[in-house]
C-alpha cells in the first residue's frame, strides 16, 4: 500500500513539475510577443507624433501634460501649488473684476451696436472709449505680469525686410491709406489674446457663447468682438467672412475704427509650425500687419496645443517665470495680383512669417488636430489614425 502511495505521489510530482515547465515555456514564448507589441506601440506613437508634429508637446510635462515628472519638477510643482497658484488666482480674478466694473460703468446708458447680428460697444467715442481702451491695455499687461510674464521681448522690423512687391506698392499709397486693415498672428495660446489686448486692444473673432459669459462677455463687447453664429439662417446674415471683411475695410479707411486681430491658422500649435492660412483676413485686399509670437520655455510650454484647459492653467500659474517673444513685421501691402487672389495673398504672408520667424510650414489643420486629440484620449485606435482606410 505504501509503495502504491509513493508511486501516486511520484506521478503527481512529475505532473506538477511538467506543468510548471510548460508554463515557463509558454511564458518564454509570450515574451517575444509582448516585446513585439510594446515595440510596435512605441513605433506607432512615434509615427503619430511625426504625423501631427505641429500639435505635439515637447516640454517636461509630456503629452497632454500627463508625462512622468522628474523629482525636482515634482518638488517645484508641489511648492507652487500651495503658494503661487492660490495667490495668482486671487490676483487674476481681482484684475478681471476691476476691468469688468470699468467697462460696466463706462457703458452705462449706452446702446450697443446691433448691426449684422453683432452686439458691441466698440463704436463708443471720446472719454469713455479712451478709458476703456487705455485701462484695458494696462490691465491686460498687468495680468500677464501677474502670471509670470515679467518682461516681453518685442522686436519691430523695418520695411527693408519685406518683399520687393510690398515695397513698390507701399510707395504708391497715400498717407491715409497706410493704416492696415488687420493684424494677423500665429496662434499658440489664449495668452496671445492678452498680449494683443495689451499692445493694440483690437477686436477678435469669438464664439457667440462668449458674449454670454459672466465678466468676459461685457469685456468682449467692449473689444468689439465679431461673434460666430453659424446657426443663424436669416436672409440678411452676411456670415463671419462678410462681417470680417467689412471690419477690415472699415479699420483700413477709418482711423477711429477698432483694428481687428485675426489668427488665420484657425487653431493653436506648439509654436514651431505655421499651419495653412484661411483667407478671411485677406478678402478685403487691405494691408495687414504680420506678428510672430513665441513662448520660450525650459519646463512647461505656455503653448495650448494638446492639453486640457484646466491642466494648462494650473501648470502655467505654477511656473515661476514665463517668457514671450514678439516680432512685429512691417505693414504688408498686397500687390494687385494678391488683391485679386486672396489665397495667393494669404499664402505669401504665411511664407513671409515662416521665413522671418523660423517656423516650419505644415499642411495639416484643425481637422487633423481633432484626430490627434481623439487618438491621445483613446477614442481612436492608433493604427486607424496612422493608416486610414480609403473609401
Q: Which of 141-145, 181-185, 303-307 has the lowest mean pLDDT?
A: 303-307
Could you give the 3-state DSSP secondary structure of residue 351? helix
| 164 vs 73: which has the higher pLDDT | 73
pLDDT of 77 strictly over 70:
yes
pLDDT of 235 strictly over 60:
no
pLDDT of 98 strictly over 90:
yes
pLDDT category, 351, cuts 50, 70, 90?
Answer: very high
Q: Quick one: pLDDT at residue 177?
A: 52
Cα separation of 261 and 374, whole Å? 30
pLDDT of 173 strictly over 60:
no
Mean pLDDT throughout 104-132? 83
Mean pLDDT throughout 23-48? 56
pTM of the model: 0.81
pLDDT of 159 strictly over 70:
no
Measured in degrees and rounded to the nearest 5, phi and psi for residue 380 equal -125, 140
Which one, of 291, 286, 290, 289, lies nearest residue 338 by Cα?
286
Q: Quick one: pLDDT at residue 119?
A: 77
Q: Quick one: pLDDT at residue 289?
A: 96
pLDDT of 16 strictly over 60:
no
Residue 360, H or E segment: strand 360-361
Q: Quick one: pLDDT at residue 236?
A: 44
Mean pLDDT throughout 138-142? 97
In this structure, the number of other CB atoms found within 10 A of the CB of residue 335 comes to 17
Most confident range (mean pLDDT) of 113-117, 220-224, 254-258, 344-348 is 344-348
Mean pLDDT throughout 351-375? 93
Q: Quick one: pLDDT at residue 162?
A: 47
Q: Which of 125-129, 272-276, 292-296 has the lowest mean pLDDT?
A: 125-129
Express as a percent the part of the chain with pLDDT over 70: 77
Cα separation of 85 and 169, whole Å? 50
In this structure, the number of other CB atoms found within 10 A of the CB of residue 40 comes to 12
Mean pLDDT throughout 300-311? 91
| 9 vs 170: which has the higher pLDDT | 9
Pairing of strands 324-328, 152-156: parallel
List the beta bridge partners of residue 274: 361
pLDDT of 89 strictly over 90:
yes
Q: Quick one: pLDDT at residue 388?
A: 58
pLDDT of 268 strictly over 60:
yes
Which one, of 327, 244, 257, 239, lies nearest residue 291 by Cα?
327
Which one, of 287, 268, 265, lies nearest residue 350 by Cα?
265
**What average pLDDT is seen over the chain?**
82
pLDDT category, 114, cuts 50, 70, 90?
Answer: confident
Q: Quick one: pLDDT at residue 42?
A: 56
What region, left, alpha or beta, does residue 358 occupy, with left being phi > 0 and alpha being psi -120 to 50 degrees? left
236: which 3 cell numbers? 440678411
Express as a percent the part of the chain with pLDDT over 90: 52
Contact, 259 vs 202, CB < 8 A?
yes
Amino acid at each position: 500500500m505504501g509503495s502504491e502511495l509513493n508511486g501516486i505521489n511520484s506521478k503527481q510530482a512529475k505532473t506538477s513539475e511538467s506543468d510548471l515547465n510548460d508554463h515557463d515555456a509558454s511564458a518564454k514564448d509570450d515574451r517575444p510577443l509582448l516585446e513585439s507589441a510594446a515595440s510596435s506601440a512605441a513605433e506607432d506613437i512615434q509615427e503619430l507624433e511625426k504625423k501631427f508634429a505641429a500639435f505635439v508637446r515637447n516640454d517636461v510635462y509630456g503629452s497632454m501634460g500627463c508625462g512622468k515628472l522628474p523629482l525636482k519638477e515634482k518638488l517645484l510643482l508641489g511648492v507652487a501649488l500651495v503658494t503661487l497658484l492660490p495667490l495668482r488666482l486671487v490676483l487674476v480674478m481681482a484684475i478681471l473684476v476691476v476691468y469688468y466694473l470699468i467697462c460696466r460703468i463706462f457703458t452705462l446708458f449706452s446702446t450697443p451696436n446691433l448691426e449684422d447680428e453683432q452686439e458691441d460697444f466698440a463704436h463708443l467715442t471720446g472719454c469713455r472709449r479712451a478709458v476703456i481702451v487705455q485701462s484695458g491695455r494696462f490691465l491686460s499687461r498687468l495680468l500677464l505680469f501677474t502670471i509670470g510674464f515679467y518682461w516681453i521681448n518685442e522686436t519691430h522690423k523695418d520695411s527693408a525686410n519685406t518683399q520687393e512687391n510690398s515695397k513698390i506698392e507701399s510707395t504708391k499709397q497715400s498717407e491715409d491709406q497706410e493704416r492696415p486693415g488687420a493684424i494677423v498672428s500665429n496662434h499658440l495660446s489664449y495668452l496671445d489674446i492678452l498680449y494683443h489686448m495689451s499692445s493694440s486692444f483690437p477686436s477678435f473673432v469669438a464664439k457667440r457663447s462668449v458674449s454670454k459669459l459672466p465678466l468676459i462677455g461685457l469685456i468682449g463687447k467692449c473689444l468689439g468682438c465679431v461673434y460666430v453664429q453659424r446657426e443663424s439662417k436669416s436672409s440678411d446674415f452676411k456670415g463671419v467672412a462678410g462681417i470680417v471683411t467689412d471690419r477690415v475695410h472699415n479699420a483700413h479707411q477709418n482711423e477711429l475704427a477698432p483694428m481687428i486681430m485675426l489668427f488665420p491658422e484657425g487653431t493653436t500649435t506648439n509654436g514651431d509650425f505655421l499651419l495653412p492660412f484661411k483667407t478671411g483676413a485677406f478678402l478685403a485686399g487691405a494691408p495687414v500687419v504680420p506678428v510672430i509670437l513665441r513662448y520660450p520655455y525650459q519646463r512647461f510650454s505656455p503653448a495650448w496645443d494638446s492639453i486640457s484647459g484646466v491642466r494648462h492653467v494650473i501648470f502655467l500659474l505654477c511656473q515661476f517665470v514665463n517668457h514671450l517673444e514678439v516680432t512685429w513685421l512691417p505693414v504688408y501691402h498686397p500687390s494687385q495680383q494678391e488683391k485679386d487672389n486672396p489665397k495667393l495673398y494669404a499664402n505669401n504672408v504665411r511664407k513671409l512669417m515662416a521665413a522671418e520667424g523660423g517656423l516650419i510650414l505644415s499642411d495639416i489643420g484643425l481637422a487633423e488636430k481633432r484626430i490627434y486629440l481623439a487618438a491621445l484620449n483613446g477614442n481612436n485606435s492608433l493604427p486607424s489614425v496612422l493608416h486610414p482606410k480609403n473609401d
